[in-house]
Structure 1
Amino acid sequence: MKSGQSYDIDSRSFSLVRNDPFYRLQRRIGLIPAHGDGCKRRALLYALVAWLPLMIASWVAGTVVESAGITEPLLGHIGIHVRCLVAIPLLVLAEGLAQKNIPLFVREFRRTGLIGDAQSPQFEQVLADIQRLRNKAIPWVIIAGLLITWTAAFFLAPNSDEIQWADAESPSLAFGAWWFLLVTRPIFSVLLLAWIWRLVLLGILLLRIARLPLQLVVMHPDRAGGLGFLDRVPLIYSPFILSVSAVLAGAWAHSVFYHNVPVPSLYIQMVTLLIVLTAVGLAPLLAFSPKLMHAKRQALLDYGVLLARHGKEVDDKWIAQKGVPDSPMLGAPELGPVADMQALYQAVASMRPAVISKSILIKIVLPAALPLLVLVATQWPLKSTLSKLLFTLL
């Protein structure tokens, strides 16, 4: 960066999605309109392109459901359908959530005073750096390389469980297998890898902002130094978390129904997935923890000294009954009586060391756990479960 260089980044237009190489490619070929992002249209289009030809090929061959010689029909591959009809649309629609929420929380750093006039040039430089990083082609070259490698690996293992519904001797089924390997999986993979890169960008953005001299308010009622508005951040990648969990839960469901894998044997994998997805969701917000912990430690010392001085003057005046002159501290309306002073200290003491709240945990854990709970529920006898629930409630 050149010293003295000024930046004028409008937080309302800041984005981790818009105008990256993949976005520009989609706009160039007409998938994204000139005005707007066309998220709903693209979500529907990608889902149909990925799923409908598979269903048509399988229907023509008569292997959509159980048939002679086909032990695992296409409908039995729950992971494929979840990938096409749930994960792909969610990953596209998540772009709209990102476009809406990222500018909002970026703007709040200025509106709340966390970024003052003195820090504004540094803040704008951070935004400009992230936009330049977003526009680089190298990450997308890496994504393309991973995609090619991933696809080639499937060709080296043609008897993959996911294409057992396709028979290489039948042209129609061969078409379905080729479509799955060359279209369906790449669409999902590129959207998934794109969101992994955007999560990295988001983490870098928050880490760079956390390194700025933020004007934290240690007594803020959000108990996060004024950073409570970051509770909207998990909304950006909740669809990503739900997509990953749903696809894996769908693949496990296929193993349960067609390979006699007991659900309890998957509990360790489910818990591991839940822990990993929760860690991924919390990681960007943990960038502010060092600054919050430092601010809390220093505030406890400072407010402890203030409370001690205030308490000593109260004791000298009313207990020791010393002839002390009027004290500005005792008469200060912002400090108030002793009870108010103690409330100030308690407010500082209750400050959290991380931007983590119940609301944030719900936005992360719920989408990660919901598909897993559905899978576990498939092993519960519905009638007895409802009876036990009704008996418990009554």
Structure 2
Amino acid sequence: MSQDSYSLMRGGLVHRLLHASGALHGSRRLSWWLAALLVAVTLLPLVGLASAQGMLLPRPHAMALLGDYATLARLLLALPLLVLAAPRADALLHSALRQLSQASLVHPRRQPRLQALLATIRRLRDSRWPELACIVLAFLPLFVQGGVVSLLSGVPDWRTEGGATTPAGHWYAWVGMPLFRLVMLLWLWRFLLWAMLLARLPSVGLTLHAEHPDRTGGLAFLGVAHERFSMLGAAGALVLSGACLNHMTYLDASLYSLRHLLAGYVIGVTLLLLAPLLLLSPILIRARRHALYRFSALGSRAAAAFDQRWRAASEDTAGSESLLDHNDASAFADFSAVYQGTASMSVVPFTRWTLLGMALPALAPLLPLALVAMSVDDLVAKLAGMLI
């Protein structure tokens, strides 16, 4: 099969356009060039247009372009982050899909089911209609809202002047925001494809081993690959952090008043991104239950045989034979370790480290807000008071 057969990213309308332009053959660092191009197209014209109207540098009682932290976070940080993270995410997802086909998780007689499922996902990935829908959705708010951009109430903004939208505001509304929405929607479409794969994977008929060392029946690699979608949470957190910084700077909002919003975002986006993995829980529960039934019966026989050998050794008054001369004790200890491992098997294909790997990218961009809310000296003093 071709290199793209197990890829979620290398397909679709946008990929075909890049392939037709020759961009996919011209550079090994395409994502860096593409990120730089998107930043240049979305941000550099804004700088020129805002400078021409005198709204580039921060000024009192008005929000200039370089003082609009939400816009800067969206176009200068979140947009290139999503572009740069795509190749690394695709590499790990590619490895996970390949492992599904090559590992012993699927019986040879059921391989046609798995290949049919992967072929369905590839057909959806390569279809032009989902990405055409993403393009339409990226521009739809312009026609629904009439091109009006959202502003902070009562704060003069670089996007408007005299009640009319400025040239910089028009560029942001017609170029900057649609491009950001498009990249975000393309990521969401890939996330939906991955969720569809996980949802239909149990119907293939996986052969799970409850005693697998990864404590998830052999599916831990899916949780590791799933972590790559944490970039969606990180991009959203960057935009949220910029928006909160605008409210704290221009509307005198306190970090304390925003605490529920920030905590709700981190918890909500982490649970939302982890939700597709929960679709595998039913087969993991069945595998664990059946293994415990099987090992419980085997354990009863092993315990009875061990007890019988122990009694025989204890009643051997001549002392010619000891229990330690046999491998029964070692074998019983090994069986006990396998049973304990099976009993502690997780019924979700991720660990606490996977959970942490999804939550931290959503949390890290929000931490600088604490430095804005209080000085470094106050922050150090509070930390020292808590630790000492």
TM-score range, shorter chain: 0.7 to 0.9
Partner of 2:79: 88
Distance of 1:334 and 1:319 partners within structure 2: 13
8 Å CA contact 1:231, 1:359 repeated in 2: no
- 1:335 Cα offset (Å): 9.5
Letter in 2 for 1:257: T
Q: 1:87 to 1:289 in 2, by over 3 A?
A: same
Distance of 1:17 and 1:25 partners within structure 2: 13
Partner of 1:211: 203
Distance of 1:189 and 1:285 partners within structure 2: 25
- With 252-261 and 36-45 compared, the bigger mean Cα shift is at 36-45
The answer to whether structure 1 residue 165 and structure 2 residue 168 are counterparts is no
Q: 1:270 to 1:392 in 2, by over 3 A?
A: closer
**Unaligned 5+ runs, structure 2:** 316-324
Which of 31, 41, 65 in structure 1 is aligned with 2:33? Answer: 41
- 1:29 Cα offset (Å): 4.4
Distance of 1:333 and 1:177 partners within structure 2: 80
8 Å CA contact 2:223, 2:277 repeated in 1: no
8 Å CA contact 2:277, 2:348 repeated in 1: yes
- 1:31 Cα offset (Å): 5.0
Partner of 2:351: 357
Distance of 2:31 and 2:359 partners within structure 1: 25
Partner of 1:326: none
- 1:10 Cα offset (Å): 5.0
Q: 1:67 to 1:103 in 2, by over 3 A?
A: closer
Distance of 1:191 and 1:56 partners within structure 2: 24
Q: 1:56 to 1:28 in 2, by over 3 A?
A: same
- 1:163 Cα offset (Å): 8.6
Secondary structure, counterpart of 1:378 in structure 2? helix
Distance of 1:223 and 1:333 partners within structure 2: 27
**Unaligned 5+ runs, structure 1:** 1-8, 324-330
Letter in 1 for 2:336: Q
Secondary structure, counterpart of 1:367 in structure 2? helix
1:60-99 paired onto structure 2 within 5 Å: 60-67=52-59, 71-99=62-90
Distance of 2:160 and 2:72 partners within structure 1: 19
8 Å CA contact 2:5, 2:122 repeated in 1: no
The answer to whether structure 1 residue 234 and structure 2 residue 226 are counterparts is yes
Secondary structure, counterpart of 1:337 in structure 2? helix
The answer to whether structure 1 residue 374 and structure 2 residue 368 are counterparts is yes
Distance of 1:241 and 1:163 partners within structure 2: 30
Distance of 1:224 and 1:158 partners within structure 2: 48
What's the TM-score once normalised by structure 2's chain length?
0.88
Higher fraction of helix: 2
The answer to whether structure 1 residue 195 and structure 2 residue 187 are counterparts is yes
What do the CA deviations read for 1:243-288 (whole angstroms, capped 9, x no partner)?
0111112111101111112221111111221122102221222222
The answer to whether structure 1 residue 290 and structure 2 residue 302 are counterparts is no
Letter in 1 for 2:159: A
C-alpha RMSD of matched pairs (Å): 2.9
Partner of 1:263: 255
Partner of 1:28: 20
Which of 220, 236, 244 in structure 2 is aligned with 1:244? Answer: 236
Partner of 1:342: 336
Secondary structure, counterpart of 2:45 in structure 1? helix
8 Å CA contact 2:149, 2:169 repeated in 1: no
What do the CA deviations read for 1:172-228 (whole angstroms, capped 9, x no partner)?
x82211110110001101001111111000111122223322121211121011112
Distance of 1:67 and 1:187 partners within structure 2: 28
Distance of 2:326 and 2:133 partners within structure 1: 62
8 Å CA contact 2:13, 2:132 repeated in 1: no
Partner of 2:381: 387
Partner of 2:299: 307
- 1:135 Cα offset (Å): 1.6
Distance of 2:190 and 2:150 partners within structure 1: 33
What's the TM-score once normalised by structure 1's chain length?
0.87
The answer to whether structure 1 residue 151 and structure 2 residue 145 are counterparts is no
Q: 1:36 to 1:170 in 2, by over 3 A?
A: farther
Secondary structure, counterpart of 1:160 in structure 2? coil
Letter in 1 for 2:332: V
Partner of 2:51: 59
Secondary structure, counterpart of 2:170 in structure 1? helix
Secondary structure, counterpart of 2:109 in structure 1? coil
Distance of 1:240 and 1:374 partners within structure 2: 19
Q: 1:169 to 1:385 in 2, by over 3 A?
A: closer
Q: 1:125 to 1:335 in 2, by over 3 A?
A: farther
Partner of 1:134: 125
Q: 1:111 to 1:322 in 2, by over 3 A?
A: farther
- With 269-278 and 106-115 compared, the bigger mean Cα shift is at 106-115
- 1:169 Cα offset (Å): 5.9
Letter in 1 for 2:348: A
Distance of 1:380 and 1:228 partners within structure 2: 41
Q: 1:132 to 1:13 in 2, by over 3 A?
A: closer
Secondary structure, counterpart of 2:306 in structure 1? helix
